[in-house]
Amino acid sequence: SGGVTAVSYSTQSNPYGLPYFSKVIASAILASNYTVNSNSVTVAVPGLSAVAYVPAGARVRVTTYVQSLTCNSGSPPGYAVVVMECSTSLAGDNVVQTTVAYNKGPFLTEYYCSPTAGTHTYLTGIKCNQNANVTLSAGAIYQSHIQVELV
């Protein structure tokens, strides 16, 4: 008498209205260098994308961190670390260099929004304002990352 008669389960991110265990809903880490010649076009960094399911009515903060950027060619450029959703730039941390082959960083770019409910893909992008190679430096100790969290 009084035993369990049925078991049910949920595949929802917060089953039965229970609180979220973590506010982080998506993240990615990059531990290797990436070089791009973007020539005034924002280019998504492979490996620095986060696919997040955003609940209805939620507000999120998208944060991307890059340890350093180095320009190795061209005249002194300006460049940016950008938070993107698919191919749309949402926020950027801009830097103008004064010399060639100069290292800048770290960069922390944040973007706050209240997106529609559903799946969203957020990315880290790099943009250079001229025809020059820009290298995002990342390694086992100095990793770059992107994170999406509920706020």
Give the per-residue pLDDT at 78: 75
User: What average pLDDT does range 40-60 have in this prediction?
Assistant: 91
Name the pairing type of β-strands 60-66 and 134-137: unpaired
Tell me if 13 sits within 8 A of 55, measured CB to CB.
yes
pTM: 0.79
First to last CA, the chain: 45
- Mean pLDDT across the chain: 82
Residue 33 in 3-state DSSP? coil
Could you give the strand order of the β-sheet that contains 34-36, starting from the edge strand earlier in sequence?
34-36, 134-137, 68-71, 103-104
Tell me: pLDDT of 40 over 70. Answer: yes
Q: Encode pLDDT of 135-147 as tens digits.
A: 888 888 889 999 9
Is the model's pLDDT at 99 over the cut of 80?
A: no
pLDDT tops 90 at residue 87: no
